Chain A
Amino acid sequence: MRILIADDEFMSRRLLEKTMQRAGYEVTAVENGRLAAAELCKPEGPKLALLDWIMPELDGPGVCREVRKRKDQSYVYMILLTSKEKKEDVVAGLESGADDYLTKPFDPEELKARLRTGMRILDLEDRLIEAREGMRFQATHDALTCLWNRGVIMDLLGRELTRSRRERKCTAILLGDLDHFKSVNDTYGHLAGDEVLRETARRLVSSVRSYDFVGRFGGEEFLVTLNNCDPAHGLARAEKIRQTIADPPVDTSAGRIAISMSFGLLLSQEWGYMSVAELLHEVDTALYGAKAAGRNCVKVAAPKTQPDDARAPAPEAASRRR
């Protein structure tokens, strides 16, 4: 654990430094409050600090106030070292944001015990952050495939479309559906079906760039956005993804299973200002076309030139195309 020591008096600093090193801490020692605040406000700065109360440039309580101004970084546990022991001094020190104070000259064992208290609090904070991040992941990801869940992938698509319109770029929307997935479940069981879904997710992620998005849209449906995609290459990229899914067959605990995926593809640049829902409807229609054309292929959603009332009706239900 790293610790910052701030004391303008060399002898005190050296004594603290050695005491802390002996206790196993990695020490950064500075001689004034300004340097202390700068160290503690660094993103990867020490999370424990021993601050002398009276220092040049900025005193110990001043350092505490500077550090507490930051809202977005990890907690720093700060102990003020002071020869001040009047009640109003102690109150002022704690009000400035210090967690504890210790009267000088300090007893090494007491100092180490108080630092252990600080470490318990920092450890608690780490565990809370870990739990929060775990919950955040669960709230945004699909539990089976670890891809973005439907809500998030829709949100990401909306933002990406806004960005691509502003920058006059193209986003390729790819909606894929595993072919005959119901028969995979019926033939090999749901555990094997889950393995197929996980492997499909892995192959999708591995076949796009780090800044593209992949999400699980529904049961065996996946939504991929190819961001900033050259429209001339959109279909070729979709084809490549389709091939990656289909070959080789997936090894599962129930044996090798041949799979394939049908895709609808839409290039946003060709569609003007349509809502996310409208674009998804169009790409779903294209996916339906791919199913109707024999599956394991990509169909591109093309804007229609006919008047609105001549538009082909939307596919009725996803179940029809499985």
Chain B
Amino acid sequence: MARYFIDLEELLARVEMDRELMRELLKIFKDEFPLRYQALREAVESLDATRVVQEAHTLKGMLWNLAAGEPAEAAAQLERLGRNQETGKFRESFAQFETMAKELSRQLEACMAEVSG
């Protein structure tokens, strides 16, 4: 069974129990994440270390705000590789991130339904 990436309890604490804000953040994430994810993918494919750093950093921030620690760490790993110009490790690291990202997207729907209910 897949791990649950979003720590709802922590997210609720972060928004100080404001469920409306939580819904808003989830919605923002849902809209923004595919665009950022695609930008990171393109940066990785073109082995553009500068852009990998930028995009991975942004995704890391978004994921931390969502209390999604494990995917945030995976994005942080890509950011570190970019800073160190370790382009040879981009694809492998991105693959790990991609797996989590797909699962996270599925969980996001369930999470939004739970919060709305």
A135 at the interface (CB under 8 A from B): no
B56 to chain A, nearest CB (A): 11
The docked-state distance in angstroms from the alpha carbon of A213 to that of B25 is: 61
Q: Count how many pairs of residues, one from A and one from B, have CB atoms less than 8 Å apart in the complex.
A: 49
B64 at the interface (CB under 8 A from A): yes
A144 at the interface (CB under 8 A from B): no
How many chain B residues touch A (CB < 8 A): the figure is 21
Size range of the chain A interface in the assembly = 10 to 19
Q: Which of A9-17, A149-157, A183-191, A282-290 contacts B (4 or more CB under 8 A)?
A: A9-17
B18 at the interface (CB under 8 A from A): yes
A104 and B16 in contact (CB under 8 A), knowing A11-B29, A11-B32, A14-B24?
no
A54 at the interface (CB under 8 A from B): yes
The docked-state distance in angstroms from the alpha carbon of A9 to that of B66 is: 13
The docked-state distance in angstroms from the alpha carbon of A220 to that of B67 is: 75
Does A15 lie within 8 Å of B64, measured CB to CB? no
Across-interface contacts of A15 in B (CB, < 8 A): 14-15, 21, 25, 65
The docked-state distance in angstroms from the alpha carbon of A154 to that of B76 is: 69
The docked-state distance in angstroms from the alpha carbon of A105 to that of B15 is: 12
Q: Beyond the given A83-B57, A105-B65, could you list 6 further A-B residue pairs with CB under 8 A, ordered by the A residue number?
A: A11-B28, A11-B32, A11-B65, A14-B21, A19-B15, A22-B16
Provide a sorted-by-A list of 5 A–B residue pairs whose CB atoms are within 8 angstroms.
Answer: A12-B61, A15-B21, A15-B65, A22-B18, A83-B60
Residues of B participating in the A interface, judged by any CB pair closer than 8 Å: 13-16, 18, 21, 24-25, 28-29, 32, 57-58, 60-62, 64-67, 76
4 shortest interchain CB distances as A-B pairs: A105-B64, A11-B28, A9-B61, A11-B65
